[in-house]
Amino acid sequence: MTKALIIGGGGMLGQGLAKALAAKGALAGSALSGVTLFDIAESAIPSGLPGASALTGDLSRPDAACRLIADRPDVIFHLAAIVSGEAERDFDKGYRINLDGTRYLFDAIREENARSGYCPRVVFTSSLAVFGTPLPDVIGDDQVLTPMSSYGAQKAMGELLLADYSRRGFMDGIGIRLPTICIRPGKPNAAASGFFSNILREPLAGEPAVLPVSRDVRHWFASPRAAVGFLAHAAEVDTGAIGGRRNITMPGISVTVAEQIDALREIAGEDAVALIKEKPDAAIEAIISTWPKAFDAQRALALGFVPDRSMQDLISVYLEDHAPEAVRARWQR
Amino acid sequence: MTKALIIGGGGMLGQGLAKALAAKGALAGSALSGVTLFDIAESAIPSGLPGASALTGDLSRPDAACRLIADRPDVIFHLAAIVSGEAERDFDKGYRINLDGTRYLFDAIREENARSGYCPRVVFTSSLAVFGTPLPDVIGDDQVLTPMSSYGAQKAMGELLLADYSRRGFMDGIGIRLPTICIRPGKPNAAASGFFSNILREPLAGEPAVLPVSRDVRHWFASPRAAVGFLAHAAEVDTGAIGGRRNITMPGISVTVAEQIDALREIAGEDAVALIKEKPDAAIEAIISTWPKAFDAQRALALGFVPDRSMQDLISVYLEDHAPEAVRARWQR
Ligand SMILES: NC(=O)c1ccc[n+]([C@@H]2O[C@H](COP(=O)([O-])OP(=O)(O)OC[C@H]3O[C@@H](n4cnc5c(N)ncnc54)[C@H](O)[C@@H]3O)[C@@H](O)[C@H]2O)c1
Ligand SMILES: NC(=O)c1ccc[n+]([C@@H]2O[C@H](COP(=O)([O-])OP(=O)(O)OC[C@H]3O[C@@H](n4cnc5c(N)ncnc54)[C@H](O)[C@@H]3O)[C@@H](O)[C@H]2O)c1
């Protein structure tokens, strides 16, 4: 029987993962006996999730993790973080949640390890923000980490902690660098990357969207479904095959904005495309120009992580998994 | 007028730096008006050091750095650390001193920056221990950091903090990855790397030394004098030319144990070489086999960091700067 803990379980990927676990019913080769969702606010619990409970708390408080680890979950998904923009605006909060929170968690595990030999699988979500310019057009698995944001620095430090605590045998960690999620469900948000989803999701709903960059901008994406698949696979993969380098860039698809728009046209027609208004924003263009364009994610592929197949897939996943019923009914074939 | 602070000022490089500053009398283009040496125990103060004082304290206590920064030093050398073996034996102590201590220092600077715009040059000593296998025979400036020790992980996190705090404009940091220091003065020590110095220093003094690895082992070295030169240059170099990547591998010389022994023979003859006893130690051989052999330290060279020229130089520096008088008199030409 496997007990799982999802920290940040109320968030976008946490909720997707909870649904996927409800559907799977098992993890790491045995039936799920309990799944705890931990988040600042009470997480929704998807139907059918075995032994589910929702706990609230703040991981950046030194005692929160100890309480969670007392239950000795076999698999821990650590998804709690504040995102790039917020970590850049509020320096203290970013380090407190993204770095200290991660360290409190790992230290709580280490203490339980010292007491009882406890050694859970820990899946940590890192980010492409660990990379910074200059970058090659196609980035290999040996790219040096040179973050250009506090969020990226915090994720890179989380990776180092994860690798060191795993090397010491306190836990069995794996860090997965997620591509940018597209189409991100919900409302448009102010993140610099928001437009990559907005220009698809909004026109599918008959709403206008702003494109602040040129159409030849290229970036690296995964659907929420693929990302949840990475999380579940990371919980089950043989870490013996990973060796000392426990942080792995996830596979994705490399697509230009023009190719995003072509896929939208194919599925929703020229009227939908016409809802995209080009409104160049030099600040956003400058930020995006420093971002990765594509990866050769050989290690992840060799370990069995499965990416999306095409830009059209990213739109189909949105329609199948996330879109409001009216939007789904309108476009789904 | 420049005020300097040396944290870890009582250590081997701290003392060497203090002597070099006494001889220079100036730093970063203006006369030195004060030099503070901070360490756990009271640091010796070399003669002729302008406005010198020695303070004692523990950087891993949250309040220690604030007291040091209240004086608003223009240049801060952060050399305090516990070394690899100790950080591996005492996990908590390693993180407390090497990571938390560094962060307390940088945060104290950040707080003074917020109050007054204070933005000192901060020179941080990182290490080759940030690198881990697999490594190419000659390592470039873009090598990915994959530490294989807690000490290496802590130094890599210090590098990330330094880069982020500098990017945010809280300080003007530069991290220098020092080669292994050879000949390390003083007594033989138990560090895995100790023999690289022991097999030279001890025979020069007519004492036996143990060689635990094979003679074709190759590694990357700098003399204490060259390392002190790196520190002083790092305090003065134009960080505008460095860009966002503020952590730089220092140049050194790549030498095999056989070449070390040849240099010893050249300076001290076959009798000295005969004092080296080969006593293979599989554990040490295994550790050393994961260490870097050589670097192509282009960035550092372009920035004007000056390495030693030869293995013979490393021995000469020891005789000139560190050896007991009797040893110096015996071999110096
Ligand atoms: N979505 C992406 O494009 C993307 C890309 C790369 C990495 N990631 C990473 O994946 C993880 C999940 O991403 P997401 O898109 O689901 O983010 P999200 O913001 O939707 O979810 C994160 C959750 O963490 C919770 N959280 C934040 N601070 C917390 C704290 N102190 N204590 C407890 N809970 C806390 C939030 O309340 C939120 O519910 C994050 O770590 C994120 O950095 C996401
Ligand atoms: N010597 C080398 O081969 C080498 C190689 C790479 C990096 N480095 C780094 O260079 C720096 C200096 O090296 P060194 O050879 O002079 O080392 P050292 O051990 O001789 O000096 C370090 C000094 O820091 C002091 N210190 C340790 N913890 C402290 C604390 N909590 N508060 C205040 N002071 C504290 C120690 O008392 C010691 O005097 C270290 O950061 C080391 O990691 C050295």
Q: Which one, of A296, A231, A269, A276, lies nearest residue A75 by Cα?
A: A231
pTM greater than 0.90 (yes/no): yes
User: For residues B114 and B63, what is the distance between their CA atoms, to the nearest angstrom?
Assistant: 17
Give the pLDDT of residue A94.
98
Check B95, B104, B118, B151 and give the catalytic one.
B151
Whole-number Å distance, alpha carbon B213 to ligand 1 midpoint, is 48
pLDDT of residue B106: 98
| CA-nearest residue, atom 9 of ligand 1 | A125
Closest chain B residue to A150, measured at CA: B164
- Cβ of B160 within 8 Å of Cβ of A164? The answer is no
**B151 flagged as catalytic:** yes
Which residue is closest to A153 within chain B, CA to CA? B160
Question: Which chain A residue shows the shortest CA-CA distance from B135?
Answer: A142
Instruction: Count CB-CB contacts under 10 A for residue A117.
Output: 8
- From chain B residues 54-93, the ones with a CB under 8 A of any chain A CB are 91
Regions of chain A where pLDDT drops below 70: 333
Report the amino acid identity of residue B306: V
Q: For strand A253-256 and strand A218-222, is the pairing parallel, antiparallel, or unpaired?
A: antiparallel
Does A156 contact B160 at a Cβ distance shorter than 8 Å? yes
A14 to A20, A52, A231: CA distances (angstroms): 10, 13, 10
Whole-angstrom distance, CA of residue B103 vs CA of residue B171:
13
Ligand 1 pocket, residue A68 CB under 6 Å? no
Ligand 2, residues B6, B7, B13, B184: which to mutate, most atoms within 8 A of Cβ?
B13
Q: What pLDDT is attached to residue A189?
A: 78
With CA atoms as reference, report the closest residue to A226 among A10, A7, A13.
A13
Residue whose C-alpha is closest to residue A109's, from A37, A164, A27: A164
Question: What is the set of domains in chain B, with CATH numbers?
Answer: 2-179+223-249 (3.40.50.720), 193-220+252-293+309-332 (3.90.25.10)
A157 touches chain B (CB under 8 A): yes
3-class SS letters over chain B: CEEEEEECCCCHHHHHHHHHHHHHCEECCEEEEEEEEEECCCCCCCCCCCCEEEEECCCCCCCHHHHHHCCCCCEEEECCCCCHHHHHHCHHHHHHHHHHHHHHHHHHHHHHHHHHCCCCEEEEEEEHHHCCCCCCCEECCCCCCCCCCHHHHHHHHHHHHHHHHHHCCCCEEEEEEECEECCCCCCCCCCCCHHHHHHHHHHHCCCCEEECCCCCCEEEEECHHHHHHHHHHHHHCCHHHCCCCCEEECCCEEEEHHHHHHHHHHHHHHHHHCCEEECCCHHHHHHHHCCCCEECCHHHHHCCCCCCCCHHHHHHHHHHHHCCHHHHHHHCC
| Chain A residue with minimum CA distance to B100 | A100
8 Å CB contact between A24 and A51? no
Residue B93 to residues A117, A175, B39, B114: CA-CA distances in angstroms? 21, 25, 16, 30
For residue A137, the model assigns a pLDDT of: 97
Q: Tell me what pLDDT residue B192 has.
A: 86
- Please tell me the distance from the alpha carbon of residue A50 to that of residue A63, in angstroms, as a whole number: 27
Distance CA B296, CA A230 (A): 37
Choose which residue among A36, A93, A125 to substitute to test ligand 1 binding: the one with the highest number of ligand atoms within 8 A of its C-beta: A125
Distance, in Å, from the CA atom of B17 to the CA atom of B125, rounded to the nearest integer, reads 13
Q: Would you say B261 and B199 are in contact if contact means Cβ atoms under 8 Å apart?
A: yes
| Integer Rg of chain A from CA | 20
Beta carbons of B213 and B199 less than 8 angstroms apart: no
Considering only CB atoms, which chain B residues are within 8 Å of A62? none
Identity of the residue in B144, B147, B148 whose CB atom sits nearest the CB atom of A143 = B144
Do the chains contact at A144 and B144, CB–CB below 8 Å? Answer: yes
> Is there a contact between A164 and B153 if contact means CB atoms under 8 Å apart?
yes
Tracing tokens 């030999």 back to the chain, one arrives at A117
Q: Which residues of chain B fall short of a pLDDT of 70?
A: 333
Among the partner residues B146, B164, B244, nearest to A150 by beta-carbon distance = B164
What ligand has the least distance to the C-alpha of A15? 1
- In whole angstroms, how far apart are CA A325 and each of A189, A321, A331, A332? 21, 10, 10, 10
What pLDDT does residue B333 have? 67
| Distances from the Cα of A232 to the Cα of A42, A64, A225, A307, angstroms | 22, 24, 11, 13
Cβ(B181) – ligand 2 distance below 6 Å: yes
In angstroms, the Cα distances linking A26 to A1, A21, A123 are 8, 7, 16
- What pLDDT, on the 0 to 100 scale, is given for residue A243? 87
Count other Cβ atoms within 10 Å, centred on residue A216. 9
* Interface predicted TM-score of the whole assembly (ipTM), two decimals: 0.97
Ligand nearest to the CA of A154: 1
Does residue A204 contact residue A246 with C-beta atoms inside 8 Å? no
Residue B64 CA: distances (Å) to CA of A103, B6, B107: 22, 14, 11
Give the C-alpha separation, A247 to A162, whole Å: 8
Would the CB atoms of B144 and A142 count as touching at under 8 Å? yes
Q: How far is CA A85 from the centre of its chain?
A: 16
**Contact indicator for A68, A55 with CB cutoff of 8 Å:** yes
Burial readout A13-36 (b: 16 or more C-beta within 10 A, e: otherwise): bbbbbbbbbbeeeebeeeebebbb
- Note whether B153 contacts A168, CB cutoff 8 Å: no
CB-CB contact of B300 with B251 (8 Å): yes
User: Which of chain A's residues have a Cβ under 8 Å away from the Cβ of B102?
Assistant: none
In angstroms, rounded to a whole number, what is the distance separating the alpha carbons of residues A69 and A17? 20
Backbone angles phi, psi at B212, to 5 degrees: -90, 0
Interface test with chain A among B90, B98, B133, B146, by most A beta carbons within 10 Å: B146
Give B96's contacts in chain A (Cβ within 8 Å): none
Q: Dihedral sign for Cα A259, A265, A268, A270, please.
A: positive
Residues 6+ apart with CB under 8 A from A264: A199, A200, A203, A204, A272, A273, A315
